[in-house]
């Protein structure tokens, strides 16, 4: 039923919308490109004053927003709204009736329909099983048919930007295409050994720096001139500045397992080689000092991402999800800026615990900032960088919270100093929870009263209040055998064995240390409240004041929402009568700037996500920080 719904309603509607928005998008893109040059962004984001080109770009964008977009958007709005309505209802329907999504697989589902509860509670596993390894649907249409896919011998293995709606000659004018399509000078093997691997074929060269389309829409928000809590501006005295990116890059396997979510995309822009080239270009353009990736497919990591990122000067760590999942999290850093102190992969899977039977993971690094020579005898605190991808299933907030508790316990262990305080922390990733949800508020406020809360409420992704059966959170949320207190600290964390944390790059899979057969450790539990003491606040505010719209970081079926975050250590704010523990001003880590996010409407005008320029279903998050350097 859903399949036919998709074929007869969603597909034509998506085509109509795509045709209109492509025409509009192409026109605007060419206008932008004609006017724009490449505003370079300094690696340290010591932002130069805005150049005339950037201002021109922004002027154009503003003009587009004020005049063009209303015109263009009103042209496409009908299709857009229809699409969106269909998308919304089909998403809700899919969630409510997972068994109906594939008529051919009804047999598989019939047993599940008998145990509706099970099916509802295990959505995450159900999709891959039902959809199998189906190839991406062939979406045919005149817009795409006109443009032959450009392949050149030198690019047999990688992206050539074959984007349908644009005529070939338009593409040739596109600096992005020119940069990517020009055959690179043949590089003598001995001079470039890193790009070729025996048995892996030829890797593509690093992309040429080109005008990157995303910057036309995403502004760098500079806070460096705003005085901090002590009235000091950034740059008073020696400081250590760095940038960090968090990005869910959409694992190819997951994309193919949920191909119904990508029917709005031309198949060519969904190929891994196309997406890989775009993602690399994005990394290279923003050139962060630390890169936290989610949904990194293991084969793509070892064969392409890690070697390419190494070429760009990164040292990378990877933690694959447990079980048969093929993706995981990676954290990469520039060894010219940081020295590794410790790396801790985190698995949330605990055999025998129903609450923790999912395969999500995290990765926590402790990095020592390297201050430039010439500053004399100075020291900077270590920086804890924690990256995770929490369970998706919107109904299982209980699982998400338990996963977060393990993650926070690991961060606490890695970042804890001998006096019990913590070094500066950046906690980022895809938390599959929306702003102001209980899970979000727990991270920000350090406390959550969860007892009796329906599990679906925890993440705020969807409203399941209409359903008769609602799993409620019981206290204690996790058993004491997990060895984690209600303050999200390991019971044993008073005596961490530091040497165990050191693992070299490409470490062996860690052995799960917890032995659940042991008698439950005896420690006091609270009644329905969990806490943590990491004092975190979010880089993003989740709202775009200039648009009056929420920020979005992902667009499943065109529904924009924020699920990705960069949290960082902040100081408690004592404001007036407020008794809550909301944290809001900078401490040791000062936020210098961030790359603005977008609204759902703007992304709809670019055909949602992924699109020809943004090759994931998430946007990247990027922030710049400063750390205090103290004289010894």
Q: Which residues lie near ligand KL2 (CB under 6 A)?
A: 123-124, 127, 248, 254, 258, 392, 430, 432, 554, 563, 617
Report the residue number whose CB is nearest to ligand KL2. 392
Asked if residue 39 lies in contact with residue 214, where contact means CB atoms within 8 angstroms, the answer is no
Nearer to ligand KL2, 47 or 123 (CB): 123
Q: Pick the closer one to ligand KL2 by CB: 315 or 432.
A: 432
Determine the length of the chain: 632
If the CB atoms of residues 320 and 590 are measured against ligand KL2, the closer one turns out to be: 320
Q: Where are the beta strands (DSSP E) in 258-382?
A: 290-297, 315-320, 327-333, 338-347, 361-369, 378-379
CB 25 within 8 A of CB 77: no
Question: How far apart are the C-alpha atoms of 627 and 385, rounded to whole Å?
Answer: 14
Minimum distance from residue 307 beta carbon to ligand KL2 (Å)? 25
* Smallest distance, ligand KL2 to C-beta of residue 296, A: 12
Query: What are the E-state strand segments in 509-582?
Result: 529-531, 536-538, 543-544, 549-550, 564-572
Contact 537, 568 (CB under 8 A): yes
Output the six-digit token pair for 597: 């996010």
Residue closer to ligand KL2, measured from CB, 324 or 511: 324
Residue 531: HSE in the Cβ half-sphere, 13 Å Cα cutoff = 7
Q: Report yes or no: 195 and 187 within 8 Å, Cβ to Cβ.
A: yes
We find the least distance from the C-beta atom of residue 563 to ligand KL2, in angstroms, to be 6
Select 119 or 165, whichever has its Cβ closest to ligand KL2.
119
Phi, psi at 443, each rounded to 5°: -65, -45
Q: For residues 292 and 310, what is the distance between their CA atoms, to the nearest angstrom?
A: 14
Minimum Å gap between C-beta 455 and ligand KL2 is 16
Q: Which is nearer to ligand KL2, 69 or 616 (CB)?
A: 616
Q: Would you say 214 or 617 has its CB closer to ligand KL2?
A: 617
| Minimum CB distance to ligand KL2 smaller for 215 or for 563 | 563
**CA gap 182, 250 in Å, rounded:** 27
Retrieve residue 10's tokens: 């969603």
Helix or strand run (H / E) with residue 444? helix 438-445
Using CB atoms within 10 A of its CB, is residue 114 exposed (0-12), middle (13-18) or buried (19+)? exposed
Q: How far is the CB of 367 from ligand KL2 (least distance, A)?
A: 25
Closest CA to 478 of 403, 393, 541: 403
Backbone angles phi, psi at 566, to 5 degrees: -125, 110
| DSSP assignment letter at 68 | I
Q: What angle do CA 534, 632, 382 make, to 5 degrees?
A: 30
Quote the least distance from Cβ 398 to ligand KL2, whole Å. 17
Q: Which uninterrupted H or E stretch holds 317? A: strand 315-320
Q: Least CB distance from residue 523 to ligand KL2, whole Å?
A: 32
- Residue 90 vs 308, nearer CB to ligand KL2: 90
| Distance (Å, whole) CA 319 – CA 627 | 27
**Which residue, 307 or 397, is less far from ligand KL2 as judged by CB?**
397
Residue 25 CB, nearest distance to ligand KL2 (Å)? 23
User: Cβ 383 to ligand KL2, closest distance in Å?
Assistant: 25
Complex with ligand KL2: residue 557 or 602, whichever CB lies closer: 557
Q: How far is the CB of 613 from ligand KL2 (least distance, A)?
A: 18
CA-derived radius of gyration, the chain: 24
CB of 27 to ligand KL2, least distance (A): 30
The span from the CA of 273 to the CA of 305, in Å, is 11
């Amino acid at each position: 039923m859903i399949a036919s719904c998709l074929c007869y309603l969603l597909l034509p509607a998506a085509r109509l919308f795509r045709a209109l928005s492509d025409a509009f998008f192409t026109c605007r893109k060419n206008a932008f490109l004609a006017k724009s040059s490449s505003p370079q962004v300094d690696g340290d984001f010591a932002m130069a004053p805005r150049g005339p080109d950037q201002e021109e770009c922004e002027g154009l964008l503003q003009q587009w927003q004020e005049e063009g977009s209303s015109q263009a958007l009103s042209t496409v709005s009908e299709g857009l709204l229809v699409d969106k309505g269909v998308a919304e209802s089909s998403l809700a329907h899919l969630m409510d009736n997972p068994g109906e999504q594939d008529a051919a697989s009804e047999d598989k589902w019939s047993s599940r329909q008998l145990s509706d509860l099970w099916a509802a509670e295990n959505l995450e596993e159900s999709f891959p099983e039902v959809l199998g390894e189906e190839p991406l649907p062939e979406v045919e249409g005149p817009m795409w048919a006109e443009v032959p896919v450009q392949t050149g011998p030198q690019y047999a293995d990688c992206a050539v930007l074959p984007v349908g709606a644009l005529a070939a000659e338009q593409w040739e004018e596109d600096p992005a295409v020119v940069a990517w399509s020009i055959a690179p000078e043949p590089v003598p093997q001995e001079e470039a050994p890193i790009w070729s691997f025996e048995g892996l074929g030829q890797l593509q060269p690093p992309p040429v720096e080109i005008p990157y389309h995303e910057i036309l829409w995403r502004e760098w928000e500079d806070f460096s001139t705003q005085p901090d809590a002590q009235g000091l501006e950034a740059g008073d005295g020696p400081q250590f500045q760095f940038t960090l990116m968090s990005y869910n890059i959409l694992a190819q396997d997951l994309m193919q397992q949920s191909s119904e979510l990508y029917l709005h995309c031309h198949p060519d822009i969904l190929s891994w080689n196309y997406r890989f080239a775009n993602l690399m270009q994005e990394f290279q353009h923003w050139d962060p000092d630390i890169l936290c990736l989610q949904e990194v497919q293991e084969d793509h990591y070892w064969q392409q991402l890690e070697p390419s990122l190494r070429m760009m000067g990164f040292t990378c760590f990877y933690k694959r999800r447990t079980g048969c999942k093929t993706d995981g999290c990676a954290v990469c850093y520039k060894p010219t800026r940081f020295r590794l102190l410790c790396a801790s992969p985190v698995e949330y899977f605990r055999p025998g615990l129903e609450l923790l039977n999912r395969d999500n993971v995290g990765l926590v690094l402790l990095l020592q900032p390297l201050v430039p020579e010439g500053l004399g005898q100075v020291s900077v605190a270590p920086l804890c960088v924690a990256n995770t991808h929490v369970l998706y299933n919107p109904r299982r907030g209980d699982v998400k919270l338990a996963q977060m508790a393990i993650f926070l316990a690991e961060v606490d262990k890695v970042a804890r100093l001998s006096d019990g305080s913590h070094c500066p922390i950046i906690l980022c990733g895809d938390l599959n929870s929306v702003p102001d949800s209980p899970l979000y508020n727990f991270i920000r406020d350090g406390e959550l009263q969860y007892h009796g809360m329906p599990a679906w409420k925890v993440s705020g992704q969807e409203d399941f209040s209409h359903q008769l059966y609602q799993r409620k959170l019981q206290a204690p949320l996790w058993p004491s055998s997990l060895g984690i207190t209600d303050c999200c600290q390991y019971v044993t964390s008073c005596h961490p064995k530091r040497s165990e944390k050191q693992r070299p790059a490409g470490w062996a899979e860690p052995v799960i240390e917890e032995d659940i057969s042991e008698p439950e450790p005896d420690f006091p539990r609270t009644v329905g409240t969990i806490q943590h003491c990491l004092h975190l606040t979010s880089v993003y505010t989740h709202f775009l004041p200039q648009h009056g719209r929420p920020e979005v970081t992902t667009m499943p079926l065109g529904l924009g929402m924020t699920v990705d975050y960069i949290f960082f250590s902040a100081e408690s704010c004592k404001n007036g009568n407020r008794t809550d523990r909301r944290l809001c001003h900078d401490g040791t880590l000062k936020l210098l700037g961030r790359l603005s996010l977008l609204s759902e409407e703007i992304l709809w005008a670019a055909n949602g996500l992924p699109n020809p320029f943004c090759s994931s279903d998430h946007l990247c998050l990027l922030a710049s920080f400063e750390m205090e350097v103290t004289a010894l």
